Structure 1
Amino acid sequence: MDLKSLKKTRASYKAKLTIFKSYIETLLPNKILNSIQVFEITARLNKILDLYSEFDSVQTDIEAIVEIPGDEHKEREIFETSYFGCVAVAQELLSAASAEQETGSVASSGANAGKPDLQIRNKWRTDKGQPHPGDMVVIKDDRLPPNRWLLGRVTTVYPGTDGVNRVADVATTSGTLRRAWNRLCPLPMNLDQDAAPAPRGPAC
């Protein structure tokens, strides 16, 4: 494929990402998703997860063709920043929806009435949501918009006295950072299009 065709294909991928980003932005004012929105964002997220590998393949070909790839490296950086930021926000919305659903289930159960602290404590002491080496995460930074949060991979975890991992070292392009698990947004790996996901990590 020649350079012109490659850039045309890349433009198509960038347009798809822009559409997904615009969709996510329409959901942000709602904070909590309803059931229809959960299914829709899950389906859209599954589609967008394949987009990066397609973009990466075309972008690599472009960088190999041009004589001075500096501008093309910038194109890659811009796309990756926007892509991983959008994925992180989508995952955050799904995590919040899942947490809200769990809270509603506990509140509606008569057997659990009057025991909110016990419910929270039991959930906290399980290994659900623990960071594990190799997990891909986005580091939450309140100073920056989500599309500028750092992407990294968990390298080391630090368990508390109860054996639950709550702190992790994350390798990023800016070096290794140590963060509490509730400051990390785990990226989804394999999502089921027919059901809302059960995120491994906490809501960001």
Structure 2
Amino acid sequence: MPETTEIRELTRKRGGVNHKLTNFVKHVVPIYNTFKINPSLDDEVSSELQNRLDKLEIIYNEFEGIQLEIESLSPDDVLEGHYEERDEFTDKYNKYYAITKKMLNANVGDQILNNKSRSRSCSSSTIESRILETVGQYLNNLQQRHKWKNPKQPITIGTLVLLKSEPLPPAHWLVGKVVPLHPGTDDITRVVSVKTNKDQLRNASKRHPFVQATQIFEIDDIWNR
């Protein structure tokens, strides 16, 4: 099936987002090469890195929105190519996000950043804190890194899920519930919406970046308290 005009336009936009990520990488690489020799950053460089890192998270969300639209509109016979685009972008994003965080965390000003992070964490709801603490303790006991298998049961409205974020430890993953399903023109659901205490997000269900929390253990009682 030939690509529609809408898919071609979305693909063009996705290329623009990829270019933004490439520019971020070009900025980080020489700084990291110097950092490996002298593991410290001056305040100006550190501030610029933090500013770019904040924008990088916006870039990732922009990519995710475009990619989900492409995947929901594309027929099955071309989906694998789009999945490869997602994997390539995500791998590069995760790698250089982690490198940048490593440099910032090693810097003298890291204590200020950590204090702000702890302050934001303390402002989270008690419910989410209790869930994340319990789930995080379980997941952190799994010493070997592995890819999560797709759930055996189909995703349905009300399913409790953990939204995976590779740069973050499992204890910091967001918890949410599946709300609307978004079936395509062929009535196959490839995209779902997940409601968290912060926002409502859209995720691809065929290769969803989340784990069904109820498959780990029953925590519906905790969620509903």
What TM-score do you get using the length of structure 2 for normalisation?
0.48
* Partner AA of 2:135 in structure 1: T
Separation in structure 1 between the aligned mates of residue 74 and residue 42 of structure 2, nearest angstrom: 47
Separation in structure 1 between the aligned mates of residue 65 and residue 42 of structure 2, nearest angstrom: 36
Aligned to 2:97: 87
Q: CA deviation at 1:21?
A: 0.9
Aligned to 2:28: 24
Aligned to 1:192: none
Q: CA deviation digits over 1:54-92, x for unaligned, max 9?
A: 111111111122212011011101111111111111100
Change (3 A) 1:134 1:51: farther
Are the equivalent residues in 1 in contact too, given 2:97–2:167 (CA < 8 A)? Answer: no
Correspondent of 1:72 among 82, 85, 89: 82
Change (3 A) 1:66 1:173: farther
Are the equivalent residues in 1 in contact too, given 2:7–2:73 (CA < 8 A)? Answer: yes
* Partner AA of 2:147 in structure 1: S
Matched, 1:35 2:43: yes
Structure 1's consecutive aligned runs of 4 or more residues displaced over 2 angstroms after TM superposition are 132-135, 154-158, 167-173, 184-189
Separation in structure 1 between the aligned mates of residue 56 and residue 137 of structure 2, nearest angstrom: 29
Question: What residue ranges of structure 2 are gaps of 5+ in the alignment?
Answer: 112-117, 119-128, 150-165, 174-225
Q: CA deviation at 1:4?
A: 1.3
* Partner AA of 1:35 in structure 2: D
Q: CA deviation at 1:157?
A: 3.1
* Partner AA of 1:168 in structure 2: N
Are the equivalent residues in 2 in contact too, given 1:155–1:169 (CA < 8 A)? Answer: no
Question: Secondary structure of 1:156's partner?
Answer: helix
Identity of aligned residues (%): 20
Aligned to 2:135: 155
Q: CA deviation at 1:36?
A: 0.8
Matched, 1:98 2:108: yes
Are the equivalent residues in 1 in contact too, given 2:14–2:63 (CA < 8 A)? Answer: yes
Aligned to 1:109: none
Change (3 A) 1:175 1:66: closer
RMSD: 3.7
Relative contact order higher in (CA < 8 Å, ≥ 6 apart): 1
Report how many residues are paired: 129
Question: Secondary structure of 1:39's partner?
Answer: helix
Are the equivalent residues in 2 in contact too, given 1:157–1:168 (CA < 8 A)? Answer: yes
